[in-house]
Amino acid sequence: MNTRVILTIIFISFGSIAAMLPKQKISSIQLEADDLLRDIKLRTHLVSTDELADLLINHDPTLLLIDVRDSVEYGKYHLPGAINIPLKELLDEKWLPYVDQLSKHNIFYSNGTILSSEAGILCRQLGFKNNFVLEGGLNAWFATIIKPEHPGSMATSEELDQYARRKAASMYFTGSSAATDQNSAPALPPVPRKKKKRVQGGCS
């Protein structure tokens, strides 16, 4: 009898402490400094210009390009189908359905890789999934896809293959770029990730 009472008290006390612990989000665990450093070293968040060219040519429906430069630069030129989220506004409420979601693969880009990787790192740290960064940005896109350079007479067959693919991609993008820009419908906001309702009640 006595033991049961003690046991009950112990269970209740552990239970009440557990109930008062800060809530942990399971769906989006925030990353910490060591996790992020490891990710950056492994370069898992980077997408090459060749991979992007494939995705665009195949009209991958899950692709969403996000231009993080300011609206003036975006207005002058942007990749086909890209939306504009200036880096400054990245975490604004109105863009959350785009950056914190599970249905699309976002690729951030800028002129180089600094602005876009800042966007990528901050999103990753907040636990947002499916956000990638175009390695080398528009500069690399133009250097490798739009104006590919012949690898030279000493090139290996792999390099020649890559050059042939890039040359074909170049014709695809420069030949029909004006048409795709006008015809493509503006990207619709993806379905926002459903947030699980937190359990109500407790000691609040």
**Binding site residues, other proteins, CB under 8 A:** 3, 6-7, 10-11, 14, 17-18, 21-22, 24, 29, 32-38, 40-41, 73, 76-77, 87-88, 90-91, 110-115, 117-118, 121-122, 125-126, 137-139, 142-143, 146-147, 170, 174-175, 177-178
Instruction: Give the C-alpha distances (Å, rounded to integers) separating 81 from 65, 106, 142, 200.
Output: 7, 12, 17, 42
Looking at the Cβ atoms of 8 and 62, the one nearer to other proteins is: 8
First to last CA, the chain: 34
Looking at the Cβ atoms of 44 and 62, the one nearer to other proteins is: 44
Looking at the Cβ atoms of 40 and 47, the one nearer to other proteins is: 40
CB 50: neighbour CB atoms within 10 A?
15
**Smallest distance, other proteins to C-beta of residue 202, A:** 16
**Smallest distance, other proteins to C-beta of residue 125, A:** 6
DSSP state of 20: H
**Smallest distance, other proteins to C-beta of residue 119, A:** 9
Looking at the Cβ atoms of 4 and 61, the one nearer to other proteins is: 4
DSSP state of 43: T
The per-residue DSSP string of 168-184 comes to HHHHHHHHHHHHHHHHS
- State how far the Cα of 196 lies from the Cα of 204, in Å rounded to an integer: 19
**Smallest distance, other proteins to C-beta of residue 50, A:** 18
Type of residue found at 6 = I
